[in-house]
Amino acid sequence: MSSISILGAGTWGCALAILLTGNGHDVTIWTKIENEARSLNENRKNMKNLPDADLPEQVKITLDLQEACTDKDLIVMAVASPYIRQTAKAASPLIKKEQIIVNVSKGIEDKTLHTLSEVIKEEIPQADVAVLSGPSHAEEVSRGVPTTIVVGAETKNTAKYIQDTFMNEYFRVYTSPDIIGIELGGSLKNVIALAAGVVDGLGYGDNTKAALMTRGMAEISRLGITMGGKIETFAGLSGFGDLFVTCTSKHSRNWNAGNLMGQGASMDEAMKKVNQVVEGVNSAQAALALAQKFNVEMPIVEQINLVLFENKSPKDALADLLMRDKRKEYKSLEW
């Protein structure tokens, strides 16, 4: 049995608490929001987003960050991506040397263009930082729906420890050394999922969305490989796997936000109605900035930024994508 803290009491944090407790571990959830802690203690569930999933009685809820970070075998970083740096900064003085921290949030920091594990490592340099990602809706994991995911770590030993900690008969965990590829796949797919939602909101069909997803992964792979990720990762669970589930499921907050915009809502209206952090909106500008920094062509990312931030019509954005210059599908393939 391991002693585990989950920093963040949102949907994913609570789902993982249920999973890890079921695996026999001693689990503590930390939140800085008093109302959230009170609700979890009183109701033993996340009433807002997981009303049908019960939090085991033995899961401890705390507002004390020091308690959450002291004498733990594993710390799970599950706060929303915009709050990763401030949480890591606050926790840093409390973290022991070589503490294993696994990041399960997805996103790119807009100001620095760093992945979230890079942000955590900057603020907590003494920690051993890993990442867990893949096609894994919290709503399904909390109910024991079969799920497969991948852990990326700097060492095989750390990856194996996290694999052993999380894996059970319905939650299969693979290991990988490609941290940067896993994080970029998990972050950038949210931007493509917004576009997929727009396509559905406009009322277009399966052909359109299949094309968008496939070309979206081409963009993600181009950037990811340029930044040091591996092609196998983008063809795997945190690449195409996560992209597929986020673009096709109504559990997806990114798909939902895009769907509302396709139906005519503004970005602000869509965000308000979804009423959760829509990671793709936060990552879209960062993705565009990375594309420009590394001189990588990402036309879908460019167009979704125009829709999000410059009030471009979604229908016009799609038309501009379809009418781009003729070209080969892959430049590397020759007759």
pLDDT in tens, 87-96: 999 999 999 9
**Residues spanned by the domain of 203:** 180-322
For residue 261 the two structure tokens come to: 């915009």
Q: Which residue has the tokens 């340029």?
A: 226
Considering the domain architecture, whether residues 11 and 42 belong to the same structural domain is answered as: yes
Q: Is residue 327 part of a domain?
A: no
Vertex 265, ends 273 and 135: CA angle to 5°? Answer: 60
Give the residue from 177, 192, 218 where a domain finishes: 177
Closest by CA to 223, choosing from 302, 145, 157, 140, is: 302
Q: Tell me, yes or no, whether 125 lies in a domain.
A: yes
**169 and 312 together in one domain:** no
Residue 331 lies in a domain: no
What confidence score (pLDDT) does residue 324 get? 83
Q: Which own/partner contact pairs does 70-74 have at CB distance under 8 Å and 24+ positions apart?
A: 70/94, 71/3, 72/3, 72/4, 72/5, 72/28, 72/99, 73/2, 73/3, 73/4, 73/100, 74/2, 74/3, 74/4, 74/5, 74/100, 74/101, 74/102, 74/161, 74/162, 74/165
Residue 328 lies in a domain: no
CA–CA gap between residue 83 and residue 178 (Å, rounded): 24
User: What integer pLDDT is reported at residue 273 of this predicted model?
Assistant: 86
Residue 165 lies in a domain: yes
The reply to whether 211 falls in a domain is yes
Same domain, 26 and 170: yes
Which CATH number covers residue 169?
A: 3.40.50.720
Indicate whether 238 and 208 sit together in one domain: yes
- On whether both 37 and 168 belong to a single domain, the answer is yes
Instruction: Specify whether 172 is located in the same domain as 288.
Output: no
Q: Return the CATH number at 239.
A: 1.10.1040.10
Strand, helix or coil at 239? Answer: helix
Q: Which of 72, 121, 189, 209 is catalytic?
A: 189
Residues 288 and 192 in one domain: yes
**Number of structural domains the chain divides into:** 2
Q: Is residue 334 part of a domain?
A: no
pLDDT tens track, the chain, 335 positions: 899 999 999 999 999 999 999 999 999 999 999 988 888 888 887 767 777 888 899 999 999 999 999 999 999 999 998 899 999 999 999 999 999 999 999 999 988 999 999 999 999 999 999 999 999 999 999 999 999 999 999 999 999 999 999 999 999 999 999 999 999 999 999 999 999 999 999 999 899 999 999 999 999 999 999 999 999 999 999 999 999 999 998 888 899 999 999 999 888 888 888 877 778 888 899 999 999 999 999 999 999 999 999 989 999 998 899 888 888 888 888 89
Final residue in a domain of this structure, among 126, 161, 177: 177
Q: Is 96 a catalytic residue?
A: no
Same domain for 226 and 122 = no
Task: Please tell me whether residues 26 and 157 are part of one structural domain.
Answer: yes
Domain annotation covers residue 299: yes
Question: Looking at the structure, do residues 301 and 258 belong to the same domain, yes or no?
Answer: yes
Q: Are 216 and 301 in a shared domain?
A: yes
Q: Report the pLDDT value the prediction gives residue 23, as an integer from 0 to 100.
A: 97
Q: What is the pTM of this model?
A: 0.92
Please identify, among 161, 177, 193, the residue that sits at the C-terminal boundary of a domain: 177
